[in-house]
Structure 1
Amino acid sequence: MQLKEQLLESCKTFVNKRLRTVQETISSNQKALTSEAKSSAGDKHETGRAMLQLEMEKASQQLAGISEMNTILSKIDIYKSTKIAHLGSLVFTNIGNYFLSISAGKISVDKEDYFAISVSSPIGKMLLGKAEKENFSFNNKTVEIVFIK
């Protein structure tokens, strides 16, 4: 399996784990709401329901974010190769290696670290559209793009 394929698979695994966690939270909260409806202890009952309702709204927002990440991942063509950084590029710099995809954090492949980052993240915005051998300043450091795959 190619390096970019492994990175993309790791990103998909990251999203699927998040999805399972959110689905478990929603399921748990739905069960709790059902049991809350059966007991009625005045103000305490209302507070409990309100807290569960907030948790459900938060989980719904997380589901929307997960859906957006899946959409972004589906747009990545890991076989497209240009010397300009774009969604799906693997960018090697003097400060680290970046996979322009979703914000999934550090991914290690063959004892080498790569950072899956969103193109809308601060470093992602700086890398997007840059070419090999270009330099830019980020967090008071000069970043040089060594290679783009």
Structure 2
Amino acid sequence: MKIKTQLIELCQRYADKRVLGYKNEIELIKESIENNDKVSNEEDDSGNSKLLDDLEKNMTYLHDANKMREQLKLVRPNLVSDVAVLGSLIKTDSMTFFIALSIGKVEIEDAEYYIISLASPLGQLLKHRKKGDQFKFNEKSYLVEEVL
């Protein structure tokens, strides 16, 4: 299915961009720490302390972004299932969801798609739904019209 392949490619670009961004941020922080070590006196470690905190946060974010990439490898564009699972495209009476990563609303070929994680609250509601099922999310009712 062409649209699922496009959505997966979009997810891949998103995950790659996040990984690259965190790697670049980590390199900048490491350079700043090195520069601070060369010019600072021993009494003023507050700058390095903040940088080390930022480094730790970005290392965690990078780890999460890499996990996101790994999760994406499990998504199969040719998957055929009657129920909503990872990689499913779920068309409802008002929105179309793609279960892969938590990205949110995207537009492809003048159509809107909501890319959501299976672990998200909405992903959990959609899990194992099939054509004809109804569910409620944020006080709004949805009818599943198709699972691809």
| Paired residues of 1:10 and 1:107 also in contact (CA < 8 A) | no
2:65 aligns to what?
66
Task: Name the CA distance, whole Å, in 1 between partners of 2:67 and 2:33.
Answer: 28
Query: Unaligned 5+ residue runs, structure 1?
Result: none
Instruction: State the TM-score, normalized to the length of structure 1.
Output: 0.95
- Which segment drifts farther, 28-37 or 135-144? 135-144
Over 3 Å off, 4+ runs: none
Q: Structure 2 CA distance, aligned partners of 1:60 and 1:66? A: 10
Q: CA deviation at 1:42?
A: 4.8
Q: CA deviation at 1:140?
A: 1.1
Q: Give the drift of 1:141.
A: 1.2
User: Equivalent residue of 2:55, what SS?
Assistant: helix
Secondary structure, in 3 states, of the residue corresponding to 2:45? helix
Unmatched runs of 5 consecutive residues or more in structure 2:
none
Structure 1 counterpart of 2:36, one-letter code = E
Kindly state the Cα deviation for residue 142 of structure 1 after the two structures are TM-superposed.
1.1
Structure 1 counterpart of 2:111: 112
Per-residue deviation, residues 12-51 of structure 1 (Å, max 9, x unmatched) = 00011111110110010000000010122454x3110011
* Length, aligned pairs only: 148
* 2:18 matched residue in structure 1: 18
TM-score, normalising length: structure 2? 0.95
